[in-house]
Structure 1
């Protein structure tokens, strides 16, 4: 049987025989590093860490197990490329992965004056365990972490949702769906989560500004669960959780 390919959210889902799925996510980063023409000056290792974070969190959020991470770096291997790869390795160590999970390429034919990073993450999941469109009317939508962007990402690292916290959420059967918060904000992701589950999103009053704030490199996630489950999840997962709304059937 020919594999079925579907685009959902920022993920590509490849359905294969036996109910096994490939889950593929990707992200890119440009002009963030220590090259002369980079708009945001930061160590290459930091750029690599956060460039990989978004795609890794997208794949983990649906309950997939990561098979490999591919980096395509528009910089020379030494020293910049190796420093970026070091940042990627630091992120993957937090997820319990090793250097063997990483492959990629660098640009060694031409001198580069601006940093460019591409990341592709390939994971695998069982279709019956995929957290995608599983929420239901009456669920509350909770944000874990704070949406941060720019210098605030480095200054408020303790306020971010960690990879370990995301993995705990993904492994909790009472959590129905998880969406990392990107540049479009938590409100956009909550609306998309609701739509994929055949519901509508009703935000709690007075939270509009937080819903519109950019999550930058996925410093926050939202998830859906029954409200009575939240206190137990809080004690097991940790971090700052805040109810931002509810799903209406």
Structure 2
């Protein structure tokens, strides 16, 4: 499991945050608020999958002001539209008393574990590390959340391990792999989980190569 907390009742809690990225004048990266929440939600969702769960409730923590709330909600809803799934109920809070100079928000998801039968698998990496403006400028290189979701549901993918700011090599260490990839920058930040480590069922490797396409490599 990655950055997830298992609550006493068995529910799974995951979260991700974003700061200095959005629509405020002093933000380091200027981008629409709905895009910010989409990618924060994407990371939080894949943390759920890493724990073998899927969200049933979503909480948004908004420090950017009241005008950002609807956009943050819209971005998370689009994430689930892209999966072809109904979006869980979204609740949360907005800091409206103090005006912040930069945008800040967080997404928390509460999920339920999904039953699945384990198969032997081999670790692959899917999606190139991208950060900042590259996430939109080179979107064809990043891991497609819908492809991962479909592969999870049909048993093609047995494990999910999103890669963030520490890079591919560091995440590989956490699961006991050397993290060597030819012609990939394994030290570079993968931003909002643009790269994902996937445990592919050993009897479906060729199928997985066709399903995930170009940016999909075995990890040693």
**TM-score of Structure 1 vs Structure 2, range by shorter chain:** 0.7 to 0.9
Q: Which runs of 4+ in 1 moved over 6 A?
A: none
- Structure 2's unaligned 5+ residue stretches are none
Corresponding residue SS for 1:119: strand
TM-score (norm 1): 0.78
- 1:129 counterpart residue number: 116
CA contact (8 A) 1:135 1:177 kept: no
Q: Give me the whole-angstrom Cα distance separating, in 2, the residues matched to 1:205 and 1:30.
A: 31
1:130-149 aligned within 5 A: 140-149=122-131
Q: Give me the whole-angstrom Cα distance separating, in 2, the residues matched to 1:121 and 1:238.
A: 29
Deviation (angstroms), 1:30: 0.5
- Gap change, CA 1:50 and 1:26, over 3 Å in 2: same
CA contact (8 A) 2:172 2:178 kept: no
* Number of residue equivalences: 220
Say if 2:173 is the partner of 1:191. Answer: yes
- Gap change, CA 1:29 and 1:71, over 3 Å in 2: same
Q: Give me the whole-angstrom Cα distance separating, in 2, the residues matched to 1:230 and 1:204.
A: 19
- 2:108 counterpart residue number: 120
- 1:28 counterpart residue number: 17
1:161-202 Cα deviation digits (max 9, x unpaired): 1221121232243533220111111122222123xxxxxx24
1:98-177 aligned within 5 A: 98=86, 100-126=88-114, 129=116, 140-173=122-155, 175-177=157-159
1:52-71 aligned within 5 A: 52-71=41-60
- 2:163 counterpart residue number: 181
- Structure 1's unaligned 5+ residue stretches are 1-7, 195-200
1:54-76 Cα deviation digits (max 9, x unpaired): 11111123431210111010022
Q: Which is greater in Rg? A: 1
Q: Among 2, 5, 10, which residue is 2:3 paired with?
A: 10
Corresponding residue SS for 2:175: helix
Say if 2:78 is the partner of 1:90. Answer: yes
- 1:223 counterpart residue number: 198
- Gap change, CA 1:228 and 1:154, over 3 Å in 2: same
Q: Give me the whole-angstrom Cα distance separating, in 2, the residues matched to 1:42 and 1:205.
A: 31
Corresponding residue SS for 2:24: coil
Q: Give me the whole-angstrom Cα distance separating, in 2, the residues matched to 1:231 and 1:84.
A: 38
Q: Give me the whole-angstrom Cα distance separating, in 2, the residues matched to 1:42 and 1:190.
A: 31
Q: Give me the whole-angstrom Cα distance separating, in 2, the residues matched to 1:34 and 1:216.
A: 19
Corresponding residue SS for 1:210: coil
